[in-house]
Structure 1
Amino acid sequence: MDNFEYDLTPYQERLEETIVNYQIKIQHVMVEPTDPPFAYPNKNVVIMNDAYDSKISPIFILAHEIYHVTQNSVDQQIYAFSPLAKQAEEKNAHLFAIRLFFQSSEEDYVPNYIAVMYALGLPLSMEHLVRQVWLEYSKPFLVN
């Protein structure tokens, strides 16, 4: 077994709970590999391109898009996934997806943030975000 294989089932289950709770419609399509998934917040819909060519986990991408729907994003009518987006709303969507991952971990186990990046296929450009959330959940330097 590869050191960076990770069971994403709890993350998927946490995401499915969110989808049900917010009654989000997920549509799966097969279009060009360069066309990213996107969210229509006003319609409560996420369109997942199952042919999208990315090393990033589709579960992470779906969680990111769900942020736009659950937070009633209003800056735009449509949000297309981009790992390099600089807008605050895109950064917040990444943070939401990362936090959802850590929330789905076992209570007494916080995975190393580098292992999380590999498990989710995240690029180095997101390392500071993953590390930020990892610190929130691990609190490794707390001293009384």
Structure 2
Amino acid sequence: MWPTEDADCVTDPSGMIYMLQGLAAAGLKTGRVMIAGGYRDGLERCHTESWIGIERSAGLVMPGSKVNVICADLKETSAAEWAETMWKELHAEKAESVLYEDGLRKVSRISRFRRKAQKRCTQRRRCLPHYRRRRRPGHDFLPLAR
């Protein structure tokens, strides 16, 4: 919750990383770690949503621990609502990273993507991206998309 109290913690997640590294180094078996942060503008939102990468990689150094990230717009959320939201997330059945926006709970999930089988190209030239090259005085050829 440091980021909700100190705006500098939003843009600098080193304290959060050191905490997770300390838990892993100490060998503590934590069942759940919740990282909560609020944002006030678009840049802070980008920073708080980037913590999902920390959450996903924490499983490598803390196997068996569930880490989740909760983000919310602090301009829309009062302190009492924010505390209630974190309480509900802490006691939720499944630890998921969520974003609260416009009164909605949005869950971040990874889904499988299956590519359709493509026909093998018999003419190599048609499969590769096409480029036109033009010459500028004093420059090498520059690729331009067709």
TM-score, scaled to structure 2: 0.28
**Structure with the higher fraction of residues in helix conformation:** 1
- Rg (Cα) greater in structure: 2
TM-score, scaled to structure 1: 0.29
- Greater relative contact order (Cα < 8 A, sep 6+): 1
**Structure with the higher fraction of residues in strand conformation:** 2
